[in-house]
């Protein structure tokens, strides 16, 4: 599943609002993670161009193969959410409520772990580009936390790939959303408990009885 998520990010799949990729439309149908898109072979774009696009969001001015990563990654994270069986039993309104609350967080963790795997201290995109050329201005505190802070946090937790994958599942199985119907909250609670138990068992096995409990608490 994680490999499919990263393949979609690195592919020529290039969603934009002008193509109809808005929340109501993206939530419909099966996940695109099961579809095969050609790999995007383009070299890294000039960082100054990435920054200009990020600030202006002029989608229509972008060459077809260049991605506006903040938007593309959110769509890919929705496609990841759609791979969970429980998602397709939710009402449409519950799907929207869940996506609005969990997709951004799931996306941040995805970007951070991908960056760590590729040896970067700043958010690294599959085409090799870095937001703000890897140097987020100090006055942009939120962006600094997003592009550097989450990476630092995951590094401190010393998470491996399996712990990361289970954490992502826990993030999207969030029953603590007020807008969800009660019956669907119960379903999400069951799913979350299942993944939490799997994470606890694995953390205890990997880190042992001395370090395991504190590590599990830190991840949660």
55 pLDDT tier (thresholds 50, 70, 90): very low
pLDDT in the model for residue 139 = 63
Q: How many CA atoms lie within 13 A of 24 on its CB side?
A: 2
pTM of the shown model: 0.82
Query: 104-123: per-residue pLDDT in tens?
Result: 999 999 999 999 999 998 88
Of 81, 86, 84, nearest in space to 102 by CA: 81
Q: Has residue 47 got a pLDDT over 70? A: no
E strand or H helix that includes residue 216: helix 182-219
Domain ranges for the chain, please list them: 2-219
Burial 183-192 (b: 16+ CB within 10 A, else e): ebbebbeebb
CATH class of 2-219: mainly alpha
pLDDT in the model for residue 137 = 64
Hey, what long-range contacts does 37-42 have (CB within 8 A, 24 or more apart)?
37/7, 37/8, 37/11, 37/12, 37/13, 38/11, 38/12, 39/7, 39/10, 39/11, 39/12, 40/10, 40/11, 40/12, 40/14, 40/65, 40/67, 40/126, 40/127, 42/66, 42/127
Most confident of 49-58, 60-69, 159-168, 175-184: 159-168
């Amino acid at each position: 599943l994680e490999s499919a998520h990263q393949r979609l990010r690195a592919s020529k799949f290039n969603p934009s609002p002008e193509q109809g990729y808005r929340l109501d439309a993206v939530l419909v149908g099966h996940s695109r993670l099961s579809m095969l898109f050609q790999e995007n072979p383009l070299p890294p774009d000039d960082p100054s161009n990435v920054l200009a696009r990020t600030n202006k969001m002029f989608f229509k001015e972008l060459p077809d193969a260049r991605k506006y990563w903040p938007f593309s990654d959110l769509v890919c994270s929705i496609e990841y959410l759609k791979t969970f069986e429980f998602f397709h039993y939710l009402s449409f309104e519950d799907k929207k409520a869940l996506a609005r609350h969990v997709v951004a967080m799931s996306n941040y963790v995805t970007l951070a772990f991908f960056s760590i795997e590729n040896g970067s201290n700043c958010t690294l995109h599959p085409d090799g580009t870095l937001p703000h050329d890897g140097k987020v201005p100090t006055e942009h505190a939120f962006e600094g936390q997003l592009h550097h802070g989450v990476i630092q946090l995951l590094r401190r937790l010393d998470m491996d790939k399996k712990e990361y994958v289970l954490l992502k599942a826990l993030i999207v199985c969030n029953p603590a959303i007020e807008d969800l119907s009660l019956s669907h909250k119960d379903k999400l609670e069951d799913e979350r408990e299942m993944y939490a138990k799997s994470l606890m068992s694995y953390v205890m096995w990997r880190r042992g009885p001395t370090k395991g409990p504190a590590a599990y608490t830190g991840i949660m």
